[in-house]
Amino acid sequence: MADHLAGYVPEYIENEVEREPIVKLAKMITDRVPQKLGIKKITKYDPEYWGLAAMCTDEMAEVALKMGVRKPKTLDQMVELTKMDRDHLEELLEQMAVNGVLEYNWENPEHVKQYVLPMFVPGNAEFSNMNLQMLQAHPEVGRFFERMSRLPLEKITPMVPPGGAGIGMHVIPVEKAIEMENESISLEHISYWLDKYEGKYAASPCSCRYSRQTYDEGCADDPEGWCVAMGDMADYVVETNKGGRYVTKEEALDIFRQAEENGFVHQITNIDGEDKIFAICNCNVNVCYALRTSQLFNTPNMSASAYRARVKTDNCVACGRCVEYCPAGAVKLGQKLCQKDGSKVEYPKIPLPSQQPWGPHMWDEDYRDNNRINCYDTGTAPCKTACPAHIAVQGYLKMAAQGRYTEALALIKKENPLPAICGRICNRRCEDACTRGSIDEAIAIDEVKRFIAEQDLRAETRFIPKKVVPALKGFFPEKIAIIGGGPAGLSCAFYLAEKGYAPTIFEKNPKAGGMLVYGIPSFKLEKDVVQAEIDIIEAMGVEIRTGVEVGRDITIEDLRKEGYKAFYIAIGCQGGRLAGVPGEDAEGVMTAVDLLRIVSEDSSYNVDGKAVVIGGGNVAIDAARTAGRCGASEVSMYCLESRDIMPASEEEIAEAEEEDVTISCGWGPKEILTENGKVTGIVLKKCLSVFDEEKRFAPVYDENETITVPCSRIFMSIGQSIQWGDLLKDSKVELGRGQAAVADSLTYQTAEPDIFVGGDVYTGPKFAIDAIAAGKEGAISIHRFVQPHSSMTIGRNRRQFIELDKENIYIESYDNSSRQVPGRDSVVNHKRSFRDPSLPLTEEQVKVETARCLGCGASVVDENKCIGCGVCTTKCEFDAIHLYRDFPEASKMVPSEDKLKYILPYGAKQAIKVKFSKKGKK
């Protein structure tokens, strides 16, 4: 991929008369070698020109030309150089500082203020982007910063030695990650620099975050305060309209703590040698230009600290937290199990400039997306891969085994805010994929989750996650409406609240929960369980307005007028479908969805006589079991599918049959028999096949082979429908197959930009865990949408995982305990009661069950990509990943003026090494 930002020139430049002072100043400051040496002339079309032109009058440029780059001058010295009126000159210099052209400090024996013409990066490109008024008046300054942080480095990056040779910024590790490292030196510690500049700190805006917003590649963080200026720079950013504010050491430490929680990388300026820095920045790799230099050019020396991460494989549980947060994409999920021949999987490493000829063919223009690839092609733990929400199953099983139940619940809630619900009703794709199932029986993953989540059912032990907000103010004020309080809507609300929003759920029913309340019988999922999970979401700051139908009681346009900035529609598939056969309008015919809704509100509802349920899915099973509890004398099910391809799970089928429901496969409705407008029976016809050769639903019947079943009630469970009402009236949202909303498959954004969709209303009827996963993605999209000029897709985790090859593993030994089976409450009549008779596993059973886990997955670090930031160590809760001081030479800090002294010999040495390695390969 080519440089997609290349070629930009502000529109006004075409008609601009080229200003000679600006051309000269641009040539003096630039680090682009051809332009610096005059081999290539700077013109008004170059970023050096139009960037400075926005900041400088010609008079300012003439003054700057007298100064020299990075050569401090006091006011007296400037008066002597320019022969200008002192007051006018001082006013001019101060305005140049405000604009970002100059900086100033008091770094001289007399402690007299002196002005400095900085380099472009780090320097006046950053300073100008910190001045919000400048950026708003001249958004091209944002593009100027981007260009000058890239163009001078394209040729030189592969020759840069460890430590960065005085170019730009340098990673400084998370302090806790190296505090036990005996060989660390002082300048590798944030605390050293804080002590050095005791009492002189200012929190100021991040220039990279602001710059990226000027061309709609923002990361949705609030830019304010992430750059902590040190020493005299603190005064500069406060006094020159750079958005700076003085902070105490404790406040600075709190900024660094919040940065680590968000996965931001600490970096220090690296252009003044080992005795001076002027800022510690907290960088998001999706926008940071300093991190880009190592990531785009695949040259870690540009950024990397002296440290590299390594994984203690025995401790690792492939939870994936380090992978999600690694800014360099150096950590990916792999497998812990050996291959069939007993060997370990060999994982590829990114080549380094010292190993082969370097150039654009080795660059990664899409590094922000590629760094979010989750696992190696050889795959990882099947349970995490199979789960739609990609929960860290192996991780919470280990925590449960260790008795760390609250931490296990916290880990689950990173991906699933409704674990107590899912512990009862999930369709358990993780268990279907479980490697242990290829030996005997899969781990009872869902039962362990239920045991862990029992804490949420008690007010004194429930877990309310801490908010992690990419804004130092601790919240985002934008109003967001979630329409529909089912699993997708609740999940979206949860993750928006965790991100610092206070969304409002509009639910048309008397209670929130959607089909969890109105579609799943209480003998499978008791409603107090649902309410307990909802109570936690409300405790996080989510407002739920029940009994409000958007489109009837209030419209989306009304909500826009109230200040709502985005909408997440998750109304589900609340309606049932009829078969379109004669007689289905008779009294006694009802959809299964309607039956379940009625009984959820009134368990005394009566079903007289014989009942027939048409359909073979889990909803049909629920309807059949419900009809039995409502008094039906006999319940029978008829479905098109043969027993081996029935949509209902084997467990659900077994439970129905245990309750005396008879199931007949291969039959579809032909006609409903009636007398005096009431059902008396149903005629069914033989189904010969359900799907065509392309696996599309296309049933074929033998119209002549029929059976007649006498009954007084018929419940149709042959599909569900979306009841839009007037919700989308006057909107641009498009509807597709089955009247489902059409939206982008990654962002869930519809044709109406501020409307997003998720759950069944987008996919059609699926499972709760699918809706929960969609809700989290919806929250991510909405956060990016409501924050100005942010990209909806760049650097986004696509949540794609690969299952390891279970045919190519060797399992040497394992715990041979059998799968644990939960008990049943003997007091509850499990055939007729509407109470859930199932019990959670006991603690002893959990210990036995979790010991059965084979521990398939583990994280793997490519040390060639690692930049030694330590972010991974802040996310690991298993003592599995640590930093090691493998490259002490990377802590050498040199002045920018000396960079060629280090770059040229290192580059020559590297070229020789590459040359001889090529000969060796021949």
Tokens of 578: 């009829």
Tokens of 400: 């449960």
Check whether residue 613 and residue 645 sit in a common domain: yes
Check whether residue 585 and residue 716 sit in a common domain: yes
Average pLDDT on 127-144 reads: 97
Check whether residue 614 and residue 561 sit in a common domain: no
Q: Give me the CATH number covering residue 581.
A: 3.50.50.60
Q: Which residue has the tokens 């008079």?
A: 59
Instruction: Please give the pLDDT value at position 179.
Output: 87
Instruction: Please give the pLDDT value at position 182.
Output: 79
Model confidence at 169: pLDDT above 60: yes
| Per-residue pLDDT tens over the stretch 672-717 | 999 999 999 999 999 999 999 999 999 999 999 999 999 999 999 9
Check whether residue 748 and residue 619 sit in a common domain: no
| Per-residue pLDDT tens over the stretch 324-351 | 999 999 999 999 999 999 999 999 999 9
Model confidence at 23: pLDDT above 90: yes
Model confidence at 63: pLDDT above 60: yes
Check whether residue 716 and residue 748 sit in a common domain: no
The b/e string for 561-589 (b: 16+ C-beta within 10 A; e otherwise) is eeebbbbbbbbbbbbbbbbebebbebebb
The rounded mean pLDDT for the chain is 96
| Per-residue pLDDT tens over the stretch 657-675 | 999 999 999 999 999 999 9
| Per-residue pLDDT tens over the stretch 575-611 | 999 999 999 999 999 999 999 999 999 999 999 999 9
Model confidence at 922: pLDDT above 90: no
Instruction: Please give the pLDDT value at position 919.
Output: 60
The last residue of one of the domains, among 155, 174, 209, is: 155
The answer to the question of residue 101 being in a domain is: yes
Check whether residue 633 and residue 690 sit in a common domain: yes
SS (HEC) of 545-561 = EECCCECCCECHHHHHH
Q: Give me the CATH number covering residue 59.
A: 1.10.10.10
Check whether residue 685 and residue 607 sit in a common domain: yes
Check whether residue 630 and residue 676 sit in a common domain: yes
Q: How many domains does the chain have?
A: 3
Closest CA to 398 of 338, 319, 342: 319
Distances from the Cα of 292 to the Cαs of 123, 307, 366, 897, in angstroms? 17, 19, 11, 22
Instruction: Please give the pLDDT value at position 916.
Output: 78
* Contact (Cβ atoms closer than 8 angstroms) between residue 750 and residue 734: yes
The answer to the question of residue 487 being in a domain is: yes
The answer to the question of residue 387 being in a domain is: no
* Contact (Cβ atoms closer than 8 angstroms) between residue 733 and residue 708: no
The answer to the question of residue 517 being in a domain is: yes
| Per-residue pLDDT tens over the stretch 416-451 | 999 999 999 999 999 999 999 999 999 999 999 999
Model confidence at 918: pLDDT above 80: no
Check whether residue 539 and residue 566 sit in a common domain: yes
The answer to the question of residue 716 being in a domain is: yes
Please give the share of the chain, as a percent, with pLDDT higher than 90: 97
Check whether residue 17 and residue 137 sit in a common domain: yes
Owning domain of residue 490:
479-574+722-760
| Per-residue pLDDT tens over the stretch 797-838 | 999 999 999 999 999 889 999 999 999 999 999 999 999 999
The answer to the question of residue 238 being in a domain is: no
Please give the share of the chain, as a percent, with pLDDT higher than 70: 99
The last residue of one of the domains, among 709, 734, 760, is: 760
The answer to the question of residue 420 being in a domain is: no
Check whether residue 553 and residue 651 sit in a common domain: no
The last residue of one of the domains, among 108, 126, 155, is: 155
Check whether residue 674 and residue 734 sit in a common domain: no
C-alpha to C-alpha distance for 21 and 27, rounded to whole angstroms? 10
